[in-house]
Chains A and B, each alone.
Chain A
Amino acid sequence: MHVNNTSTEKESLTKRKSVLGIRLFFIYLICYAGFVVIGVFQYELLAVQVPGGLNLALAYGIGLIIFAVILGVVYNYYCTKYEDEAEAEQSNEIEEGGAV
């Protein structure tokens, strides 16, 4: 596994991972900001009971924590996939180069 080693990483791969990271960040940002906005502008909504017997504040708060972990796993899965693809591509290029 050398493909992801600092300067040898291809620019296209870096770009793909970076775009993925930014997208996931914004998804989380919207959810996180949603909690703050409800707290400030629709406070009463936080007291509403959700299925499971908890109020919205608790369910949303615990949900945000679990969601961050899930997004982390998703990010890792796709980054690893991109890296493997780039690695395969690179070794193909080397093989082709060797055949010439």
Chain B
Amino acid sequence: MIYEISYVALLFFFIFVGLVIGLSFYFGRKTSSSSSYYAAGGQIHWGVNGIAFAGDYLSAASFLGICGMIAVSGFDGFLYAIGFLGGWVVALFLIAEPFKRLGKYTFTDALNAKFNSRAITLAASIGTLIVSVFYLIPQMVGAGDLVMPLLGLPHWVGVLLVGAIVIVIVASAGMASTTYVQFLKGGLLIVLSVVLTFFILKNGLTLTPNFKGSSSHYTFMELTPQVENEKLIAVNDWDVVGQQTVGNKTFVKLSQNGIERWFDWTQDANGSMLKETLTVTQRADGQTLYNGEPKENRRFYQVGHMSKIVVNGQEVGETGAVGPFEFLSTLQESEIVRFLQVKFSDGADEVSVYYQEPTAGATFMLPGLKYKIGRDANLWSKLDFISLMLALFLGTAALPHILIRYYTVKTPRDARKSTILAITAIGGFYILTLFMGLGAAVNGVLDVESSNMSAPLLARAFGAVLFSIISAVAFATVLGTVAGLIVASSGAIAHDFIDIYLKKNLSDHRKVQVGKIAAFAVGIFAILLGMAFKGINVSFLVGWAFAIAASANLPAILFLLFWKKTSETGIAASIIVGIVSSLLIILTSPTMWDKYGLDPANAIHQLENPALISFPLAVLTVYLVSLWYPKQNAVGNGLTA
């Protein structure tokens, strides 16, 4: 996509980032002991903590990823919202209170409260680290996507920027700062989403979304070719240069005034038609052309519009302001133009073509465009759907940076109130993602190269100020989440691994110091991964983190809390089996195959999400190993359940 720098957005961006860092330093001055570094000394008010919970959870995956996936794949994006929230039920009803009663700082401590086992410490700290890293990847990818339209900078600069800022925050302060920062941005994100949804509904649905002249809606060209014996002979004013067939699609290269463009050749009962596409051409000489022209000519457009609006059986040009139900039901009756990508080689050039695919609203508003469970479904795609829903449901409770907030309030009662406030805020927000995602799909704002920016770009259509504030909040969202994750990972390294596993008996001061060094190392690693995974939808990436968390941590926690015979060996083995099996399945998945430069269709298996196999495997492991190697040295601290 081609972006111009927005100076208003820049101003708000710097104000916001300044505020975040300022808050960190302010609270950082109050942070002295290691307990205040990791868990804010257990002194955070439950209301603040609840919204901070929401702030933690509504990461880039929720705001950027879900909205983006809804905008591109319709209902399938909403599956993530349903699953992410379902996960809170597990966290609230099964884990929250018993965990709080254990009264420890990190996930590893809680798991180990009964046993004081070094094997558990080692396994759990590795688990925390791997889950955190997998959760960090999408945040960093989202950060890179955000700065492109915001600052007009390349993707890698955004990743680097977020990494650097977070390292400064974490190294200077710790949990206290991140709780207040998460509170601030969690609250703002919800308020701004309400505002954006209000604008979407007020604006209604229209065939030509030009926002009352404030933006120009581009109408794609349609040409009628001369065809003889099913061969394309000529096109008025254009020279026919070439032709490519990919699957059942045929693309035709035409030239006019020395500029070459690709068209999608459709033939149906109404005759032959050439529809303009969006094309990115990587030339052999290293130059990138957008629709056949250099970047500066700005011939690459934002997309996503409706080709038919049907209200009460009548086709209309626009609806005017609509209510929320009317918005959804009208979309169901109408037709939406999506842009699908194909890649092919044209001589020495590598071409990515994005062609128009009119999709019935009824199809768009059902699952199946990404996770095929209806038409075109096969066994793998159905298993993949089940696996995703399982991972989302079970993953939330097992995320290390979510669990750490259970310790930041005084009592289980407060922890519960925090969680309920969070679930309400998050639930409300997720319903709004449906409107924001669909709004982006039909208002001509989408960037075909990355779905992640759908919601902020929609905001830009409604005005520079809204865009700038939303971008700044989204950036702060990434910042806060990354900070929380880095604290959790540095805790795993400094506290669990070095202090407890290696028995270094570090002083309080030294512990904080080691934590900061660990935070720095994890930060650098996250930056590199963020650059490597550019272009993948962030919700999809988060699905992996959830699957690993669900497999590595959840069986261990649940058995510890609800089965008295659970042994330390069983817990450690379950964590290791969960990590290894989920990692193996992810690393051999079609998406990774594509990343390795291989054909995804030839991957060892076609399962994108590992939870369906790795979670039951981890459950089986903790059960069987606990039976084979019963517990020996339970220290016990009154835990009953």
The verdict on A65 contacting B367 (CB below 8 Å), with A43-B373, A54-B332 known, is no
A4 cross-chain contacts in B, Cβ below 8 A: 411-413
Residue of A nearest to B97 (CB): A17
Residue of B nearest to A18 (CB): B641
Cross-chain contact of A57 among B93, B94, B366, B386 (Cβ < 8 A): B366
B365/A32 in contact, CB under 8 A: no
Q: Does B368 contact A (CB under 8 A)?
A: yes
B97 cross-chain contacts in A, Cβ below 8 A: 14, 17-18, 21, 79
Report Cα–Cα, A72/B85, bound state, in Å: 11
Q: Which of B294-312 touch A at CB < 8 Å?
A: none
Q: Does B240 contact A (CB under 8 A)?
A: no
Report Cα–Cα, A1/B416, bound state, in Å: 15
B101/A43 in contact, CB under 8 A: no
Interface residues on A, range: 35 or more
Q: Does B406 contact A (CB under 8 A)?
A: no
Q: Does A94 contact B (CB under 8 A)?
A: no
B93 cross-chain contacts in A, Cβ below 8 A: 21-22, 24-25, 28, 71, 75
B386 cross-chain contacts in A, Cβ below 8 A: 36, 40
Contact with B along A32-53 (1 / 0, CB 8 A): 1001100110011011000011
Q: How far is the CB of A68 from chain B (nearest CB, A)?
A: 5
The verdict on A75 contacting B92 (CB below 8 Å), with A68-B85, A69-B427 known, is yes
A61/B82 in contact, CB under 8 A: yes
Q: Does B328 contact A (CB under 8 A)?
A: yes
B365/A55 in contact, CB under 8 A: yes
Q: Does A11 contact B (CB under 8 A)?
A: yes
B94/A21 in contact, CB under 8 A: yes
Residue of A nearest to B89 (CB): A28
Report Cα–Cα, A82/B410, bound state, in Å: 19
Report Cα–Cα, A36/B640, bound state, in Å: 33
Q: Does B130 contact A (CB under 8 A)?
A: no
B101 cross-chain contacts in A, Cβ below 8 A: 6-7, 9, 14
A25/B373 in contact, CB under 8 A: no
A25 cross-chain contacts in B, Cβ below 8 A: 89-90, 93-94
The verdict on A18 contacting B411 (CB below 8 Å), with A36-B385, A43-B368, A68-B427 known, is no
Q: How far is the CB of B94 from chain A (nearest CB, A)?
A: 6
A28 cross-chain contacts in B, Cβ below 8 A: 86, 89, 93
Q: How far is the CB of B328 from chain A (nearest CB, A)?
A: 6
Q: Does B538 contact A (CB under 8 A)?
A: no
Q: Which of B67-123 touch A at CB < 8 Å?
A: 75, 78-79, 81-82, 85-86, 88-90, 92-94, 97-98, 100-101, 103
Residue of B nearest to A43 (CB): B374
Is chain B's binding surface mostly helix, strand, loop or mixed?
helix
Report Cα–Cα, A80/B78, bound state, in Å: 33
Q: How far is the CB of B199 from chain A (nearest CB, A)?
A: 21
Q: Does B382 contact A (CB under 8 A)?
A: yes
Q: Does A66 contact B (CB under 8 A)?
A: yes
Q: Does B227 contact A (CB under 8 A)?
A: no
Q: Does B419 contact A (CB under 8 A)?
A: yes
Q: Does A58 contact B (CB under 8 A)?
A: yes
Q: How far is the CB of A65 from chain B (nearest CB, A)?
A: 5
A39 cross-chain contacts in B, Cβ below 8 A: 367, 373, 385
The verdict on A57 contacting B75 (CB below 8 Å), with A15-B640, A40-B386, A43-B374 known, is yes
Q: Does A73 contact B (CB under 8 A)?
A: yes
Q: Does A76 contact B (CB under 8 A)?
A: yes
Residue of A nearest to B330 (CB): A53
Q: Does B431 contact A (CB under 8 A)?
A: yes
Residue of B nearest to A9 (CB): B101
Report Cα–Cα, A57/B382, bound state, in Å: 16
Q: Which of B491-541 touch A at CB < 8 Å?
A: none
Cross-chain contact of A46 among B367, B413, B434 (Cβ < 8 A): B367
Report Cα–Cα, A66/B423, bound state, in Å: 10
A68/B94 in contact, CB under 8 A: no
The verdict on A76 contacting B366 (CB below 8 Å), with A21-B97, A22-B94, A68-B86 known, is no
Residue of A nearest to B90 (CB): A25
A68/B423 in contact, CB under 8 A: yes
B328 cross-chain contacts in A, Cβ below 8 A: 53-54, 58
Q: Does B389 contact A (CB under 8 A)?
A: yes
Report Cα–Cα, A29/B101, bound state, in Å: 25
B420/A14 in contact, CB under 8 A: no
B373 cross-chain contacts in A, Cβ below 8 A: 39-40, 43
A69 cross-chain contacts in B, Cβ below 8 A: 423-424, 427
B430 cross-chain contacts in A, Cβ below 8 A: 65
Q: Which of B395-450 touch A at CB < 8 Å?
A: 410-413, 416-417, 419-420, 423-424, 427, 430-431, 434
Residue of A nearest to B637 (CB): A7
Q: How far is the CB of A58 from chain B (nearest CB, A)?
A: 6
Residue of A nearest to B96 (CB): A21
B89/A71 in contact, CB under 8 A: yes
- B residues contacting A by CB (< 8 A) are 75, 78-79, 81-82, 85-86, 88-90, 92-94, 97-98, 100-101, 103, 325-326, 328-329, 332, 362, 365-368, 373-374, 377, 382, 385-386, 389, 393, 410-413, 416-417, 419-420, 423-424, 427, 430-431, 434, 637-638, 640-641
> Can you give 29 contacting A-B residue pairs, CB < 8 Å?
A1-B413, A4-B411, A4-B412, A5-B411, A7-B638, A9-B412, A18-B97, A21-B93, A32-B86, A32-B389, A36-B386, A39-B373, A40-B385, A43-B373, A53-B326, A55-B362, A58-B365, A58-B434, A62-B434, A64-B85, A64-B86, A65-B81, A65-B82, A65-B85, A65-B427, A66-B427, A72-B88, A72-B419, A75-B416
